[in-house]
């Protein structure tokens, strides 16, 4: 599985720690939300980046009080057809102001990457059959966007009202 | 009409390239059918009983003559020379080949059309009153807001994988020609006491296996907040709608189970958080869109009405057509001409390439090149001068498009049923054809008056049977086609869900049963009563007795 971050394939510096194992003192560690709830005080006091993986169907409120303590939040897609994670991501970014790494995990496929990115995900545990390097093209499939979302891309309406930000077909982000 | 700018155009063009790539990846196995399915559905591509089907979006039912010609051309080149207009103001091609689909989408894009979101668990193509902009009774042209919603919902990053499909309808008039109470969200434009424009918001209506007349969750939403309110409602639905059971995943179930009041509170609470963000359109953009829907330059002649009166007096058949198929226009000297796609014994909603071309030519000649598609599967020329009606009618006649049956029993809605649809329990089209033939006598139909008959081949209710004055639903009885009859439904402003009248009828008895119902109505109606009014007055009993006897 490849990790895509900020539209590039990168090495994953985070390790996943299951609920039974000890959390290493160093390096980024991702724990389950259950573990986080149980060991929050210890984990937050650790002198290394900490991340939490939500469960399917968890809304952003489950980490509302921890936004500033967390360096990474992983939002699961049990199947790519389950779209709850899109709302969770937008709310984490736009309402709760989460600025750390927001990672899409689970059934993360090529054609959903651009939508996920628009909702605020910046990293993806890519699980598609299309070669990851080729899948990066997905981010540039469609140039125009009609909505304002977590990625703050200028919507069609915004571009129309600010001709200075001229729309250039096929090259904008 | 709305015209694409380079941004709109780039999106549909790039979608074609993207879809071509998706088809290729499917062919090489890079995409499994399971992964490909939602992608093709979002481009309107279904896998039917015998072939792929392409559902082309006709946003809010407005078409230019050029677009209609393109549809005719696609039918000729890639399909079997006809298309089928649907109950959601879309057009379906029933026989395209998978490998041709990217080319067909490119043809559509060349005339500012697409098949985006005509299927799939996303916000579907938005529908509107087919008389938008020309109805005397409207407060605003609902297409302005339908286009705003079309753009906002197109590839919405958050709402593309909803629990289930999501349908929005908009009307600008109290007279509901868009069945807004049977949509996931229905919007009725109105003015408040201060004269400001806004919407009554209805949520959680729908047909299907559990029909609901949607409750109003907000009496007045100022129009500038439309998109933020929709976004709030969709977000609540996306987070809480059921994903474990597709039969319970529509918003209507959520509203029903949560209770409309609690659901409203959730939407309002979410909206309070986003109502003053950039979700809503700036006034400039709204005005830009509204400007596309300015009325054409009408040129009514002083004696148009007088001339029409003479023609009506001299030609009884023409007068009959005008009486049933022509509606008043907001501008004196003009009329709205409905073109029935329900010839006696025909397939409801089908049009051949020749007919589509003919309608396009007539639109150029008589209706400022504009055409509308109705959710009752007919076409409309919205701006015809009163003194042009006669020439229009004569041409329609030569294309078998002059059936004077609008709103009458043979102007029925029927879903594709077993002839095309993999989910069907029973045939719909042949039943529709036989009923139409049974009532072929136009005088008889006219005497019966307004009667909305709607047929679905299964519980999914694509034929809107719940909303029919008479509804017919195909059911499976040990492998045999049976038909359950409901009475008293309505999709109009007096929306209601029909009541089941009794045990279902076999295929060869259902037409007789309809005739018995109609005869019973004729016996007991009072002056000026429509079938629906009589039913509402007397209830089920007389109809039930006529069908099943008194014990
Ligand atoms: S109502 Fe049933 S049979 Fe008819 S088109 Fe819909 S799914 Fe198919």
Using only the alpha carbons of chain B, give its radius of gyration: 23
Query: Are B161 and A86 within 8 A, CB to CB?
Result: yes
CA dihedral B178, B179, B182, B184 (to 10 degrees): 20
Strand partners, B47: B52
Task: Tell how strand B45-47 and strand B52-56 pair up.
Answer: antiparallel
Q: How far apart are CA B246 and CA B480, in angstroms?
A: 26
The two tokens of residue B61 are 């039912």
Q: Are B278 and A161 in contact (CB under 8 A)?
A: no
- Alpha carbon separation from B475 to B432, B463, B540 (Å, rounded): 16, 14, 21
A73 lies within 8 A of chain B by CB: no
The two tokens of residue B97 are 């080949």
Chain B neighbours among A 81-120 (CB < 8 Å)?
81-84, 86-88, 90, 95, 109, 111-112, 114-116, 118-119
Task: Tell how strand B52-56 and strand B216-222 pair up.
Answer: unpaired
Cβ of B326 below 6 Å from ligand 1: no
Cβ of B458 below 6 Å from ligand 1: yes
Q: Are B469 and B376 in contact (CB under 8 A)?
A: no
pLDDT band at B301 (very low <50, low <70, confident <90, very high): confident
B129 secondary structure, DSSP code: -
Q: Which comes out higher in pLDDT, residue B308 or B47?
A: B308
Averaged pLDDT for residues B284-294: 96
Q: Are A56 and A76 in contact (CB under 8 A)?
A: yes
Q: Which of A40-44, B234-238, B288-292, B468-472 has the least mean pLDDT? A: A40-44
Look at residue B551 and tell me whether its pLDDT is greater than 70.
no
Averaged pLDDT for residues A47-62: 95
Closest CA to B71 of B88, B58, B61: B58
Q: How far apart are CA B65 and CA B59, in angstroms?
A: 15
Cβ of B416 below 6 Å from ligand 1: yes
The mean pLDDT value of chain B amounts to 95
The pLDDT of residue B550 is 79
SS (H, E, C) B487-543: ECCECCCCCECCEECCCCEEHHHHHHHHHHHHHHHHHHCCCCCCHHHHHHHHCCHHH
The pLDDT of residue B277 is 84
User: How far, in Å, is the centroid of ligand 1 from the Cα of B428?
Assistant: 9
Q: Where are the beta strands (DSSP E) in A14-141?
A: 14-16, 28-32, 50-53, 72-77, 101-106, 123-126
Q: Where are the beta strands (DSSP E) in B358-405?
A: 370-373, 379-385
The two tokens of residue B409 are 């029993």
Query: Are A147 and B157 within 8 A, CB to CB?
Result: yes
Number of CB atoms found within 10 A of residue B219's CB:
11
ipTM of the predicted structure?
0.94
Q: Are B163 and B121 in contact (CB under 8 A)?
A: yes
Q: How far apart are CA B533 and CA B539, in angstroms?
A: 10
Q: Which 3 state secondary structure label does DSSP give B187?
A: strand
pLDDT in tens, A100-154: 999 999 999 999 999 999 999 999 999 999 999 999 999 999 999 999 999 989 9
Chain A residues with CB-CB distance to B156 below 8 A: 146-147
Chain B residues with CB-CB distance to A145 below 8 A: 155, 157
pLDDT in tens, B149-190: 999 999 999 999 999 999 999 999 999 999 999 999 999 999
Backbone angles phi, psi at B335, to 5 degrees: -140, 160
Q: Are B275 and B225 in contact (CB under 8 A)?
A: yes
The pLDDT of residue A167 is 53
User: How far, in Å, is the centroid of ligand 1 from the Cα of B471?
Assistant: 14
Cβ of B415 below 6 Å from ligand 1: yes
Distance, CA of B70 to chain centre: 21
The mean pLDDT value of chain A amounts to 92
Q: Are B124 and B169 in contact (CB under 8 A)?
A: no
pLDDT in tens, B329-364: 999 999 999 999 999 999 999 999 999 999 999 999
Which uninterrupted H or E stretch holds B216?
strand B216-222
The pLDDT of residue A163 is 60
Look at residue A80 and tell me whether its pLDDT is greater than 70.
yes
Q: How many CA atoms lie within 13 A of B332 on its CB side?
A: 5
pLDDT band at A171 (very low <50, low <70, confident <90, very high): very low
The pLDDT of residue A172 is 37
Closest CA to B112 of B158, B73, B57, B184: B57
Q: How far apart are CA B177 and CA B188, in angstroms?
A: 11
The pLDDT of residue B302 is 84
Cβ of B457 below 6 Å from ligand 1: yes
The pLDDT of residue A165 is 55
pLDDT in tens, A102-116: 999 999 999 999 999
Q: How far apart are CA A95 and CA B337, in angstroms?
A: 51
Sequence-distant (≥ 6) Cβ neighbours of residue B163 within 8 angstroms: A83, B121, B237, B238, B241, B242, B243, B249, B250
Distance, CA of B168 to chain centre: 11
Query: Are A87 and B282 within 8 A, CB to CB?
Result: no
Query: Are B152 and A147 within 8 A, CB to CB?
Result: yes
Backbone angles phi, psi at B474, to 5 degrees: -75, 130
pLDDT in tens, B71-90: 999 999 999 999 999 988 99
The percentage of residues in chain B with a pLDDT greater than 90, rounded to a whole number, is 92
Averaged pLDDT for residues B6-14: 97
The two tokens of residue B207 are 């047909």
The pLDDT of residue B186 is 97
The percentage of residues in chain B with a pLDDT greater than 70, rounded to a whole number, is 100
pLDDT band at A169 (very low <50, low <70, confident <90, very high): very low
Number of CB atoms found within 10 A of residue B434's CB:
16
The two tokens of residue B271 are 């909206």
Closest residue, chain A, to B10 (C-alpha):
A169
Averaged pLDDT for residues A40-65: 94
Q: Are B279 and B231 in contact (CB under 8 A)?
A: yes
| Domain boundaries of chain A, sorted by first residue | 2-141, 143-173
Chain A residues with CB-CB distance to B14 below 8 A: 141-144, 170
B166 secondary structure, DSSP code: B
The two tokens of residue B527 are 């002056």
Look at residue A173 and tell me whether its pLDDT is greater than 80.
no
The pLDDT of residue A164 is 58
Closest residue, chain B, to A87 (C-alpha):
B158
Closest CA to B381 of B434, B312, B329, B445: B329
Query: Are B10 and A86 within 8 A, CB to CB?
Result: no
Q: How far apart are CA B359 and CA B364, in angstroms?
A: 9
Q: Which CATH superfamily is domain A2-141 in?
A: Aldolase class I (3.20.20.70)
Max CA separation in chain A (angstroms):
57
Cβ of B48 below 6 Å from ligand 1: no
Please report the domains of chain B, with CATH numbers, ordered by start residue: 6-109 (3.90.480.20), 134-292 (3.30.413.10), 304-398 (3.90.480.20), 413-548 (3.30.413.10)
A164 lies within 8 A of chain B by CB: no
CA dihedral B54, B58, B64, B67 (to 10 degrees): -20
| C-alpha distance from B148 to closest chain A C-alpha (Å) | 10
User: How far, in Å, is the centroid of ligand 1 from the Cα of A51?
Assistant: 47
Q: Where are the beta strands (DSSP E) in B285-397?
A: 326-328, 334-339, 350-352, 370-373, 379-385
Query: Are B14 and A90 within 8 A, CB to CB?
Result: no
pLDDT in tens, B20-67: 999 999 989 999 999 999 999 999 998 877 788 999 999 999 999 999
Q: List the alpha helices (DSSP H) in chain A.
A: 33-45, 84-90, 113-118, 132-135, 156-161
Averaged pLDDT for residues B520-531: 96
Query: Are A148 and B30 within 8 A, CB to CB?
Result: no
pLDDT in tens, B411-462: 999 999 999 888 999 999 999 999 999 999 999 999 999 999 999 999 999 9
User: How far, in Å, is the centroid of ligand 1 from the Cα of B515?
Assistant: 24
A142 lies within 8 A of chain B by CB: yes
Q: Are B326 and B337 in contact (CB under 8 A)?
A: yes
């Amino acid at each position: 599985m490849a990790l895509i971050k900020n539209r590039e394939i990168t090495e994953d510096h985070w390790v996943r720690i299951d609920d039974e194992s000890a959390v290493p003192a160093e390096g980024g560690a991702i724990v389950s939300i259950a573990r986080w709830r149980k060991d929050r005080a210890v984990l937050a006091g650790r002198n290394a980046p900490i991340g939490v993986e939500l469960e399917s169907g968890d809304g952003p409120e489950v980490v509302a009080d921890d936004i500033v303590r967390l360096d990474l939040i992983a939002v699961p897609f049990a199947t790519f057809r389950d779209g709850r994670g899109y709302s969770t991501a937008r709310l984490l970014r736009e309402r709760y102001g989460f600025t750390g790494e927001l990672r899409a995990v689970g059934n993360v496929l090529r054609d959903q990457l651009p939508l996920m990115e628009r909702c605020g995900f910046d990293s993806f545990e890519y699980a598609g059959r299309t070669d990851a390097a080729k899948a990066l093209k997905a981010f540039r499939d469609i140039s125009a966007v009609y909505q304002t979302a977590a990625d703050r891309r200028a919507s069609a309406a915004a571009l129309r009202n600010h001709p200075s930000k001229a729309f250039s077909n096929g090259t904008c982000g | 009409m709305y015209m694409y700018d380079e941004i709109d155009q780039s999106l549909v063009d790039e979608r074609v390239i993207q879809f071509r790539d998706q088809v290729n990846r499917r062919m090489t196995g890079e995409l499994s059918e399971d992964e490909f399915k939602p992608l093709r559905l979002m481009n309107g591509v279904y896998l039917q009983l015998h072939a792929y089907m392409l559902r082309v979006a006709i946003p809010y039912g407005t078409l230019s003559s050029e677009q209609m010609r393109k549809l005719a051309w696609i039918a000729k080149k890639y399909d079997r020379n006809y298309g089928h207009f649907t109950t959601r103001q879309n057009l379906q091609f029933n026989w395209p080949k998978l490998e041709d689909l990217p080319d067909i989408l490119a043809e559509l894009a060349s005339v500012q059309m697409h098949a985006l979101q005509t299927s799939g668990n996303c916000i579907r193509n938005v529908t509107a009153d087919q008389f938008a902009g020309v109805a005397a009774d409207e407060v605003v042209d609902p297409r302005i807001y339908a286009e705003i919603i079309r753009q906002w919902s197109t590839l919405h990053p958050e709402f593309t994988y909803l629990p289930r499909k999501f349908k929005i309808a908009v009307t600008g008039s109290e007279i509901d020609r868009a069945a807004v109470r049977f949509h996931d969200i229905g919007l009725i434009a109105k003015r408040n006491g201060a004269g400001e424009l806004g919407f009554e918001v209805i949520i959680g209506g729908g047909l299907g296996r559990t029909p609901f007349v949607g409750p109003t969750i907000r009496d007045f939403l100022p129009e500038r907040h439309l998109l933020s309110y929709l976004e709030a409602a969709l977000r609540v639905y996306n987070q809480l709608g059921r994903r474990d059971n597709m039969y319970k995943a529509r918003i209507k179930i959520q509203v029903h189970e949560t209770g409309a009041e609690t659901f409203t509170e959730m939407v309002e609470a979410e909206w309070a958080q986003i109502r003053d963000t950039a979700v809503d359109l700036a006034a400039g953009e709204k005005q830009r869109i509204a400007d596309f829907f300015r009325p054409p330059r009408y040129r009514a002649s002083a004696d148009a009405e007088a001339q029409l009166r003479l023609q009506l007096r001299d030609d009884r058949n023409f007068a009959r057509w005008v009486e049933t198929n022509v509606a008043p226009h907001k501008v004196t000297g003009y009329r709205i001409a409905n073109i029935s796609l329900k010839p006696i014994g025909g397939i409801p909603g089908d049009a051949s390439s020749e007919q589509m071309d003919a309608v396009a030519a007539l639109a150029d000649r008589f209706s400022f090149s504009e055409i509308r598609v109705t959710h009752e599967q007919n076409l409309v020329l919205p701006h015809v001068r009163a003194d042009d009606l006669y020439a229009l009618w004569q041409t329609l006649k030569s294309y078998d498009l002059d059936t004077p049956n609008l709103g009458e029993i043979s102007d029925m809605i029927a879903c594709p049923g077993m002839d095309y649809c993999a989910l069907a329990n029973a045939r719909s089209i042949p039943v529709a054809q036989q009923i139409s033939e049974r009532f072929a006598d136009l005088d008889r139909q006219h005497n019966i008056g307004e009667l909305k008959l709607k047929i679905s081949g299964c519980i999914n209710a694509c034929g809107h049977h719940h909303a029919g004055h008479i509804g017919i639903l195909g059911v499976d009885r040990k492998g045999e086609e049976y038909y359950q009859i409901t009475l008293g439904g309505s999709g109009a402003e007096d929306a209601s869900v029909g009541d089941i009248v009794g045990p279902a009828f076999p295929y060869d008895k259902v037409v007789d049963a309809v005739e018995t119902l109609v005869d019973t109505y004729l016996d007991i109606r009072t002056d000026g009563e429509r079938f629906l009014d009589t039913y509402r007055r007397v209830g089920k009993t007389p109809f039930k007795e006529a069908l099943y006897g008194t014990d």
